Amino acid sequence: MKDVLIQVEDLKKYFRVGKGNLKAVDGLSFSIHQGETVGLVGESGCGKSTAGRTMLRLYEPTGGRVLFKGTDVFSAGSREMHELRKKMQMIFQDPYASLNPRMTVTDIISEPFSIYGLYPHRAEREQKVADLLRLVGLSEEHANRFPHEFSGGQRQRIGVARAMALEPDFIICDEPISALDVSIQAQIVNLLKEIQRERDITLLFIAHDLSMVRYISDRVCVMYLGKMMEVAPSEDLYHTPLHPYTRALLSAIPVPDPVVQHERRRIKLEGDVPSPIDPKEGCRFVDRCSYAEPRCREITPEQRELRPNHWVACHRADELFLK
């Protein structure tokens, strides 16, 4: 295992809503090693995108720490943060909204060069843009076109090129395929895997498509209502999930074999996701969990390592699912 590149410690992000606090992210802790891909999954509204944006300080945090190569991102001054952003980039969810419609592809990809004073000569800059376009599977002939002239998949490739412009060490992929056609999603994921292999990039892949997360991720983190429920190596989590919420999520993934699919038991979650505004003490999943007991409502479960590198926040996981 390579050195830890990103260390997230008790990350919190609250939003003031009326007289209460919406606890979008409430005490996340995990690490990402150099060259690793970590998947962050959960239902819509669980706080995974907010967590990614807060890690890069696109949102100012409410509490906690994020260490990038040992440097505390949240305590960095403006000049130090300016340098850190060169090494930490983001690919956004919506390729239609994340590209300026009034800028050409050359302007979009080369804007980071202007911000950091790189490649001042026009010919040098145009060559670098052409190299980045080829990296993401586009042609230099696309350089002078505008975003509206491209398909959704091509626009996301432009977003990947922009994220790669400053040769970062770490990229947060904020649901980069959810707005794309299914036929295009695999192309973008394969592109990210290829770039990671060639450039030794570290990725945080945020998504709700569990089958795609399994394909791209080395480890997977499962969130629910601002809390981390389970963290485990990808294959370990998919074969032996230890949290009731993770088991319910995985039971919903369709299997291409009709015989196997027919024999599988779908775990249906009853009730709605509770409000994240000033949630009560105890397990956040308690109202939808069929295994809940009184202590689950009174005591918030801590992360426990029940298998090697397999962490679970559940009072009963060891007695229910550990074999």
Answer whether residue 276 is part of any domain: yes
C-alpha span between 84 and 88 (Å, rounded): 7
Burial of 225 (0-12, 13-18, 19+ CB in 10 A): buried
Answer whether residue 100 is part of any domain: no
List the one residue out of 136, 158, 143, 148 whose CA is nearest residue 92.
158
Answer whether residue 291 is part of any domain: yes
Answer whether residue 177 is part of any domain: no
- Sheet with 219-224: list strands edge to edge: 88-91, 170-174, 202-207, 37-41, 219-224, 227-233, 310-312, 304-307
Answer whether residue 175 is part of any domain: no
Answer whether residue 202 is part of any domain: no
pLDDT band at 252 (very low <50, low <70, confident <90, very high): confident
Element holding 131 (H helix, E strand): helix 122-135
Answer whether residue 224 is part of any domain: no
Residue 255 in this model has a pLDDT that exceeds 70: no
Residue 56 in this model has a pLDDT that exceeds 90: yes
Answer whether residue 247 is part of any domain: yes
Residue 142 in this model has a pLDDT that exceeds 80: yes
pLDDT tens per residue, range 97-119: 899 999 999 999 999 999 999 99
Helix (H, G, I), strand (E, B) or coil at 186: helix
Domain limits for position 307: 242-323
Residue 323 in this model has a pLDDT that exceeds 80: no
The total number of structural domains in the chain stands at: 1
